[in-house]
Amino acid sequence: MFEASSYTPPAVAGSNDAGAGTAPPGAIDLRKIWSELWAGSWIIALTTLGAVALAAAFVLLVPHKYTATTQILIDPMDLRASQTELAPTIQQSDAAVLQVESQAKVIASDNVLRRVVAAEGLERDPEFTRGRLAAEHPAIAALNELEKQVQVKRSERTYVVDISVTSTDPAKAARIANAIAQAYLAEQTEVRADAARQVSQQLSARLKELQDRVRDSEQKVEAYKAAHNIVGANGQLVNEQQLADLNSQLASARARTAEAKARLDQVESVQRTNTAIGAFPEAVQSQTISLLRTQYADLTRKEAEQKASLGERHPAIIEIEAQVARLQKAIDDEVARIELSDRAEYERAKADEDLLSRNVDRLKNTAIATNDALVGLRELEREVQANRAVYESFLVRSRETNEQERIDTKNIRIISKADLPLTRSSPPASTILGLAALLLGFASGVGIVLTRAAVKDTAPPQPEPRAATAGRLRAFAKRLWSAPADAAPAAIPVLARLPDVDIAFGLDAVDDPQSRFAREIQKIYRAVRQSPRKRDNPTVLVAAADDEDDTAAVALTLAAAAAASARVLLIDTDLERRTLSAIDADDSDAGLVDVAVGRRDLSEVVVRDRETNVNLVPFVSPHSRRDRRISDADIRDAFAKTKRFDMVIVAAADLRRDPSARFFAGLVDHIVLVSRADERDEDAVASFVSRLGADARKVRGAVLTGVEAT
């Protein structure tokens, strides 16, 4: 638990009977400080000389060490010697940074440093082979010592890695730093070659199995074709080609049949209807019918001529008619012959069509069976294609990785070799060390002188006569209690006059702005807000002149009134937690001290009362854990986090009973005194203000409780 000073000067801020020449509270007497420093100048000189002497001895006795640095650029994107690499190219910046950080760890790894130990013979170097382990395992001892002297880190926002080596010999430091860089490059080349070799060997081992798998799948395809009579030519099945040809022939045959049928029907129609000879194309095209028709026409003309001259019964006419009848019969016979020829041609075309139709139907049935078999064939062919693709991919990859063993694709280079360091890295430069020793020695001397003066000044003063002290306090209290409500403010003005305070009544009364109680509480709020000392985010300590519970009531009602328009935090410093228990808000499992030690965040310990809209937090909770001693600085830092609220109210008990109240008096901006009006405990009020010391100037006024209504 933090502690406040147990002594405060018995002065009252604002009293008119302070002694002449006395510095006001909190003032700094520079003349007195200079006098004390001049009187103790010999102490300051001795501490300064002593510090300089110690710094000189440190420089002379401590071994000098030198640090040499080599810089390596590690580009995450490797050189592309081929289109396919073992590792994909990294494009994301975060992933690239992680890769470079990983490589920095590789540089400081045992594998790389063992190469350096062997290359530089560090197992025989006395600087790296110290201790009992060096006698039995010099290489391991040198490796352990080298790890301590090597520092590898990536420069901020770059891919550059710095390799720093520290040694008592500057040349050795530079040599080892360069050796580490070379060892790392050799390690990377070997690792990449080993990785490519391992992948190539594994791929080669799989090639024979993949080749056999391709051969077996191809043999299954050929056996399946033979079993299902699937024969192809020029990328097409034979039965499909035959079916296409027969379909074409069947179409032609049907056309010929239709044409023959049309000719036959035409001839038959001529025969049935006794149509004139030559009324169909074949008769026109027939030479025999053409000749017969010519003869028939000549005889008909001759018959007509003879009938006109000889008469119808003349023998010559009868002979001509007989010739005409013979020609007519010859023409009919020729037409009949044509009809027989067309019928024979039609029947032949029909027979060809039927044959082709039967062959097409047979091939269709065969094609349907073949198509069913093709389903299984396609599955086997897909398996062949997949096996062949995997085999070819492995074959190409095996050849690439085999060649990649001989190609170094890493994009790593040394951009700055370690040079001979000209200045030591440890201990610091003599000039810097000397200045630091001068400042430290001088500050130590000043601190010793001022501490001695403070011890001398804080000796308890001689007590004043009791009568004089009592008289001064009595006069102060008289001014306080006799001040009327509308009078001008005295040393400590009366901010509000409240009746006997009941928590429930007070919280209800605050909700009614027209009530007398609410108006009195608003006076306190306005006095704090309008104070020229601090108006934004004020912090207020509400404390009692004596051990009275009225502090909780005033603090709660003031917080409830302020919460109507601002975010208010109420801190209960009373160990009995009377302020929080008054509204049943004492269920917090942590307090402000838990925030001070870093165990909890402020947002985790604050409890919000829904009815009043006030945020509450105890200073110390029954469940608070203090694993270490809490300093004043811890409490100040925790209290500073509360400034995010618009107003912070600290409810404190009597200063005499709780030292935390006195400590918070030094942190807050304003102090409000709560006291009973009927008791008029003048000594208690004066003692309260006296214990505040320099913080008495923060007192904004007093709140009197137990005032009868007028």
Q: Residue 119: which pLDDT band, with cuts at 50, 70 and 90?
A: very high
- What tokens were used for 587? 């269920």
> Which residue did the predictor score with more confidence, 166 or 552?
166
In a domain, 207, yes or no: no
- For residues 342-358, average pLDDT: 83
445 and 356 fall within a common domain: no
Q: 15-42: per-residue pLDDT in tens?
A: 333 333 344 444 566 877 887 888 888 8
* pLDDT given for residue 462 in this prediction: 45
What distances in angstroms separate CA 359 from CA 112, 246, 384, one per listed residue?
83, 7, 35
Q: Would you tell me the crossing angle of helices 503-510 and 550-562 to the nearest 10 degrees? A: 20
What's the CA gap between 277 and 275, in Å, rounded?
6
Query: 693 and 596, same structural domain?
Result: yes
Pair (314, 291) in one structural domain = yes
DSSP state of 668: -
Identify the pLDDT of residue 542.
Answer: 86
Q: How many CB atoms lie within 10 A of CB 522?
A: 16
Residues of the chain with pLDDT > 90: what percent? 12
Residue 417's pLDDT is: 92
Other CB atoms within 10 A of residue 262 CB:
11
With respect to residue 615, please indicate whether it lies within any of the assigned structural domains: yes
**What distance in Å separates the CA atoms of residue 568 and residue 566, rounded to the nearest whole number?**
6
Residue 557 domain-assigned (yes or no) = yes
Range in 367-381, 518-532, 640-654 the model is least confident about:
367-381
Number of independent structural domains in the chain: 3
What's the angle, vertex CA 426, arms to CA 446 and CA 140, rounded to 5? 135
Tell me what pLDDT residue 252 has: 84
Q: Where are the alpha helices (DSSP H) in 238-314?
A: 238-273, 281-285, 287-310
**Same domain membership, residue 254 and residue 288:** yes
Same domain, 700 and 616: yes
Q: Is 50 part of any domain?
A: yes
- The whole-angstrom separation of Cα 62 and Cα 119 is 30
Look at residue 509 and tell me if it is in a domain. Answer: yes
Say yes or no: 518 and 646 in one domain.
Answer: yes
| Percent of the chain whose predicted confidence (pLDDT) is above 70 | 73
pLDDT of 353 above 90: no
Statement to judge: residues 343 and 266 lie in one domain: yes
Per-residue confidence band for 361, with pLDDT thresholds at 50, 70 and 90: confident
Is residue 203 a part of any domain in this protein?
Answer: no
Rounded distance between C-alpha atoms, residue 41 and residue 45, angstroms: 6
Most confident region among 340-344, 350-354, 437-441 by mean pLDDT: 437-441
Residues 472 and 449 grouped into a single domain: no
pLDDT grade for 170, boundaries at 50, 70 and 90: very high
Distance of alpha carbon 621 from alpha carbon 576, whole angstroms: 10
CA atoms of 271 and 331, how far apart (whole Å): 11
357 shares its domain with 240: yes
CATH of the domain at 694: 3.40.50.300
Q: Say yes or no: 663 and 554 in one domain.
A: yes
**Look-up of token digits 């942190």:** 667
Q: Is residue 201 part of a domain?
A: no
User: In terms of pLDDT, which residue wins out, 432 or 515?
Assistant: 432
Edge-first strand listing for the sheet containing 539-544: 494-497, 699-705, 670-676, 539-544, 647-651, 568-572, 614-618, 607-609
Whether residues 580 and 679 share a domain: the answer is: yes
| Rounded Cα–Cα distance for residues 680 and 707 (Å) | 12
Q: Looking at 563-640, list the stretches that DSSP marks H as alpha helix, in order from N- to C-terminal side.
A: 578-581, 592-596, 602-605, 632-640
HEC assignment per residue over 19-70: CCCCCCCCCCCHHHHHHHHHHCHHHHHHHHHHHHHHHHHHHHHCCCEEEEEE
105 within 8 A of 74, measured Cβ to Cβ: no
Contact by Cβ (8 Å): 698, 668: yes
Residue 260: helix, strand or coil by DSSP? helix
Instruction: Supply the pLDDT for residue 405.
Output: 63
Residue type, 677: A
Q: Is residue 35 part of a domain?
A: no
CB 616 within 8 A of CB 606: yes
Predicted TM-score (pTM) of the model is 0.41
Q: Which tens digits make up the pLDDT trace of 586-617? A: 566 788 888 888 888 888 888 888 878 888 88
- What does the pLDDT read at residue 172? 92
Phi, psi of 548 (to 5 degrees): -120, 145
pLDDT at 504: 63
Residues 309, 327, single domain; the answer is yes
Q: How much is the pLDDT for 279?
A: 53
Q: Which tokens is 696 given? A: 């008495």
Which range of residues forms the domain containing residue 54?
Answer: 40-62+427-457
Q: What is the mean pLDDT of the chain?
A: 76
